């Protein structure tokens, strides 16, 4: 896959599609548990529809919530649900470095998903931020380790994805600084969701290129 | 006695006793009254109840004063003292008052002013404003409020400069302090010590107000340092170079658009300055030498190399003041004109200070092969190699991954080198590649020097 194709893939798998894998995939898995065929089919159909119309799944969910008059903060809920592993993004190579990559990504997503529970207690939230910092560092270290050990034809694509991840990490840091001034937690949730999405894209990129 | 004197006194005659003593008394009372009326107003603000919230900007850019009584400071207090234990703290204070280390009776002589900001707690005498002491916030371990009958004490547990003191081995809570323990010749165990700064306030409300203000100061300071910690972790992970760093792009069809990459970095996302560095967000007017002129020559370098160097420049502009950038440029110039790597490292360490020593990590791409061993050793001695010392400094949270800990190479001399070295021993650069790299470094160094000069000409102040 060329650099351009990777970029297009990432743009297509944009932030809005996070609702599909964070919210709907667990639902499809439940459907699968009593009808494997039905579960696979509906998953495939939704995936196709989302690819053609990014954001479709989110719109459907929002409409359902509206219809049922369910008052829920969608962004916060998405963040709480986003920690789960997404099969499509997990690297299925057995080498230790790739398993580490899966583990570090999972750890980071898990800590980020805890933000809504911790944000109202300053002391605990500061501890969470430190944990996030350590998790980001460990993930990047693991990415660097894979770079060092393996030569790839499409190294540029991997470096680009790493750069994007760093960019969104910095953005998350900036959002936190603003939060401590204005107290608007929703922006932290949005930024955390973006960072989780970038974490998944790193896994996807390594899965595709490696 | 005064009344007795008055009764005996015949009208019209002033008793010599009265003339001498009472006049003096009246004089002193008068002076005390005058003193009270002469005292300047405190620099204070109204606080939102019930938690006495204050605008963080006041603590960051201003200060707030409160009136207290300064009883004294106890030194060489065992560090294992529990500041939450009323009994322990009062026992120390009582003993100190008995031995006159702390003031016994409270009079106007102990009147003082405590000045609070996000940087330090300063104590000055109420009259005369002579400074008593100043404690940086990071030296304060705990603040306690103890009510002892009519006395409302606020006690600050702070660091002491001389770190250790002998303690009898029979000390009951020795186990709490064994982190730095070692046996002295007498068999006593050396323990960490601290100071207790003992203040008194008028009432419970004043004590609670002071404690809550200090709590807010801690919140500000530790929030800032936590964010700084996050920034450093991201920086460290982002800039660790790879062993396979090459001068030529792997994919000839994907030339780097350096200008786009750099401007996206600089304009959209940047590191915010810490408390110490001040707010050094890059200003739109002080853009570095335009990278588009470099695109053709930089195209032969890999994306990672170019971006690492450009990233470092961006970070410098956010972490250093204009004066410091000039100093950095001077040091870089001197190094490139023959100064030793040792001198370069020492001077940079001094320039960056303790809080910014992690910036040295980003210099790896600048260090030529011949000096890289010394540079790596230097990083290790100051505790920043591969992030060690940055993340465990204050919080002890960092866990090195097994892969990064074990991944190391040896150079031709058999000395062990850490991972992440640019141009590792088993990949010596061919002369033409080395020349290209050297020229690139020269260009970037010139850009940094030019940045320092241009900021000086624009009159940018930190």
CATH number of the domain residue B69 falls in? 2.30.29.30
Nearest alpha-carbon partner for B384 in B349, B341, B332: B349
Among B332, B355, B382, where does a domain finish?
B382
Domain shared by A66 and A82, yes or no: no
Mutate: best of A148, A152, A158, A183, partner B, most B CBs <10 A: A148
Tell me: pLDDT of A152 over 90: no
Domain shared by A90 and A175, yes or no: yes
B403 contacts A134? CB cut-off 8 A:
no
Tell me: pLDDT of B265 over 60: no
* B353 occurs within a structural domain: yes
3-class SS letters over chain A: CCHHHHHHHHHHCCHHHHHHHHHHHHHHHHHHHHCHHHHHHHHHHHHHHHHHCCCHHHHHHHHHHHHCCCCCCHHHHHHHHCCCCCHHHCCCCCCHHHHHHHHHHHHHHHHHHCHHHHCCCHHHHHHHHHHHHHHHHHHHHHHHHHHHHCCCCCHHHHHHHHHHHHHHHHHHHHHHHHHHHHCCHHHHHHHHHHHHHHHHHHHHHHHHHC
Mean of pLDDT over chain B: 69
The parent domain of residue B204 ranges over 56-162+191-217
Distance of alpha carbon B408 from alpha carbon B410, whole angstroms? 7
Domain shared by B305 and B204, yes or no: no
Lowest mean pLDDT of A166-175, B5-14, B369-378, name the range: B5-14
Partner residue facing A147 (CB), from B232, B242, B272: B242
Would an 8 Å CB–CB cutoff place A121 in contact with chain B?
A: no
Among B183, B217, B251, where does a domain finish?
B217
Lowest mean pLDDT of A89-93, B104-108, B335-339, B452-456, name the range: B452-456
Q: Which long-range contacts (CB under 8 A, 24 or more apart) does B251-256 make?
A: B251/A3, B251/A153, B251/A154, B251/A155, B251/A156, B253/A2, B253/A3, B254/A2, B254/A3, B254/A156, B255/B295, B255/B299, B256/B295, B256/B298, B256/B299, B256/B301, B256/B303, B256/B306, B256/B307
**ipTM of the complex model:** 0.88
Looking at CA atoms only, how far is residue B237 from chain A in angstroms? 5
Partner residue facing B240 (CB), from A136, A144, A156: A144
A176 contacts B272? CB cut-off 8 A:
no
Domain shared by A113 and A194, yes or no: yes
Give pLDDT tens digits for B358-375.
788 777 767 776 787 788
B399 contacts A163? CB cut-off 8 A:
no
Looking at CA atoms only, how far is residue B458 from chain A in angstroms? 27
Domain shared by A12 and A45, yes or no: yes
Partner residue facing A163 (CB), from B219, B271, B307: B307
Domain shared by A53 and A95, yes or no: no
Residues of B (204-223) whose Cβ lies below 8 Å from A: 219, 222-223
Phi, psi of B114, rounded to the nearest 5 degrees: -100, 130
Contact pairs from chain A to chain B, CB under 8 Å: 128
Residues of B (383-412) whose Cβ lies below 8 Å from A: 387, 391, 395, 397-399, 401, 403-404, 407
Give pLDDT tens digits for B91-100.
999 999 999 9
Phi, psi of B263, rounded to the nearest 5 degrees: -65, -35
Q: Report the domain count for chain A.
A: 2
* B397 occurs within a structural domain: no
Looking at CA atoms only, how far is residue A197 from chain B in angstroms? 17
Looking at CA atoms only, how far is residue A176 from chain B in angstroms? 8
Pairing relation of β-strands B409-410 and B189-201?
unpaired
Give this prediction's pTM. 0.58
* B360 occurs within a structural domain: yes
End-to-end distance of chain B based on CA atoms, in angstroms? 66
Give pLDDT tens digits for A100-151.
999 999 999 999 999 999 999 999 999 999 999 999 999 999 999 888 888 7
Mean of pLDDT over chain A: 87
**Cβ contacts (< 8 Å) between A100 and chain B: which residues?**
401, 403
Residue labelled with tokens 């006395």:
B151
Tell me: pLDDT of A35 over 80: yes
B269 contacts A167? CB cut-off 8 A:
yes
Domain shared by A118 and A185, yes or no: yes
Which pLDDT value is given to residue B44? 92
* B107 occurs within a structural domain: yes
Domain shared by A90 and A67, yes or no: no
Give pLDDT tens digits for B42-85.
999 988 888 888 888 899 899 999 999 999 999 999 999 999 99
B407 contacts A170? CB cut-off 8 A:
no
* % of chain B beyond a pLDDT of 90: 31
The parent domain of residue A111 ranges over 75-209
B233 contacts A134? CB cut-off 8 A:
yes
Would an 8 Å CB–CB cutoff place B425 in contact with chain A?
A: no
**Cβ contacts (< 8 Å) between A160 and chain B: which residues?**
303
Domain of A142, CATH number, reads: 1.20.120.1950
Half-sphere CA count of B384, side-chain side, radius 13 A: 26
Would an 8 Å CB–CB cutoff place A5 in contact with chain B?
A: no
Lowest mean pLDDT of B177-186, B216-225, B410-419, name the range: B410-419
B226 contacts A126? CB cut-off 8 A:
yes
């Amino acid at each position: 896959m060329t650099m351009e194709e990777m970029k297009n893939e990432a743009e297509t798998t944009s932030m809005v599609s996070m609702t599909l894998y964070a919210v709907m995939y667990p639902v499809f898995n439940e459907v699968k548990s009593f009808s494997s065929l039905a579960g696979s089919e509906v998953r495939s159909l939704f995936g196709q529809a989302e690819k053609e119309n990014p954001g479709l799944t989110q719109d459907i969910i929002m409409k359902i919530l509206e219809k049922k008059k369910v008052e829920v903060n969608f962004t916060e809920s998405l963040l709480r649900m986003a920690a789960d592993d997404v099969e499509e993004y997990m690297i299925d190579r057995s080498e230790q470095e790739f398993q580490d990559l899966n583990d570090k990504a999972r750890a980071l997503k898990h800590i980020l998903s805890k933000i809504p529970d911790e944000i109202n207690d300053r002391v605990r939230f500061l501890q969470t931020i430190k944990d996030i910092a350590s998790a980001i560092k460990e993930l990047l270290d693991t990415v660097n380790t894979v770079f060092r050990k393996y030569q790839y034809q499409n190294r540029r694509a991997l470096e680009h994805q790493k750069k994007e991840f760093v960019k969104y990490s910095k953005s998350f840091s900036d959002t936190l600084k603003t939060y401590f001034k204005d107290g608007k937690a929703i922006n932290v949730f949005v930024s955390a969701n973006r960072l989780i999405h970038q974490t998944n894209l790193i896994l996807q990129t390594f899965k595709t290129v490696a | 006695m005064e009344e007795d004197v008055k009764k005996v006194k015949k009208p019209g005659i002033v008793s010599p006793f009265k003339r001498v003593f009472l006049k003096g008394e009246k004089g002193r009372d008068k002076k005390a009254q005058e003193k009270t009326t002469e005292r300047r107003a405190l620099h204070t603000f109204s606080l939102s109840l019930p938690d006495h919230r204050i605008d963080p900007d006041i603590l960051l850019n201003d200060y707030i004063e409160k009136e207290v009584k300064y009883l004294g400071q106890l030194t060489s207090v065992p560090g294992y003292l529990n500041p939450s234990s009323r009994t322990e703290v009062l026992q120390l204070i009582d003993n100190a008052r008995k031995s006159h280390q702390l003031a016994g009776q409270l009079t106007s002589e102990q009147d003082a002013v405590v000045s609070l900001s996000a940087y330090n707690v300063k104590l000055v005498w109420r009259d005369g404003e002579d400074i008593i002491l100043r404690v940086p916030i990071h030296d304060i371990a705990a603040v306690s409020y103890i009510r002892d009958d009519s006395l409302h004490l606020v006690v600050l547990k702070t660091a002491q400069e001389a770190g250790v003191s002998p303690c009898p081995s029979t000390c009951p809570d020795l186990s709490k302090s064994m982190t730095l323990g070692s046996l002295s010749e007498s068999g006593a165990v050396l323990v960490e010590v601290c100071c207790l700064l003992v203040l008194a306030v008028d009432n419970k409300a004043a004590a609670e107000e002071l404690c809550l203000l200090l709590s807010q100061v801690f919140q500000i300071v530790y929030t800032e340092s936590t964010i700084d910690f996050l920034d450093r972790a991201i920086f460290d992970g982002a800039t660790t170079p790879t062993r396979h760093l090459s001068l030529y792009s792997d994919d000839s069809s994907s030339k780097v658009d350096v200008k786009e990459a750099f401007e996206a970095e600089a304009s959209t996302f940047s590191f915010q300055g810490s408390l110490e560095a001040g707010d050094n967000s890059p200003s739109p007017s002080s853009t570095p030498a335009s990278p588009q002129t470099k695109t053709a020559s930089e195209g032969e370098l890999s994306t990672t190399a170019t971006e690492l160097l450009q990233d470092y420049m961006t970070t410098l502009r956010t972490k250093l003041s204009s004066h410091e950038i000039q100093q950095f440029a001077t040091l870089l110039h001197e190094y490139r004109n023959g100064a030793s790597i040792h001198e370069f490292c020492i001077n940079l360490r001094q320039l960056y200070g303790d809080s910014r020593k992690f910036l040295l990590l980003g210099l790896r791409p600048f260090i030529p092969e011949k000096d890289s061993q010394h540079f790596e050793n230097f990083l290790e001695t100051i505790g920043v190699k591969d992030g060690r010392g940055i993340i465990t400094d204050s919080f002890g949270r960092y866990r090195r991954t097994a892969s990064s800990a074990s991944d190391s190479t040896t150079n031709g001399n058999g000395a062990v080198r850490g991972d992440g070295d640019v141009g590792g021993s088993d990949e010596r650069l061919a002369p033409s590649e080395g020349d290209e790299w050297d020229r690139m470094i020269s260009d970037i160094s010139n850009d940094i020097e030019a940045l320092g000069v241009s900021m000086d000409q624009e009159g940018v102040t930190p």
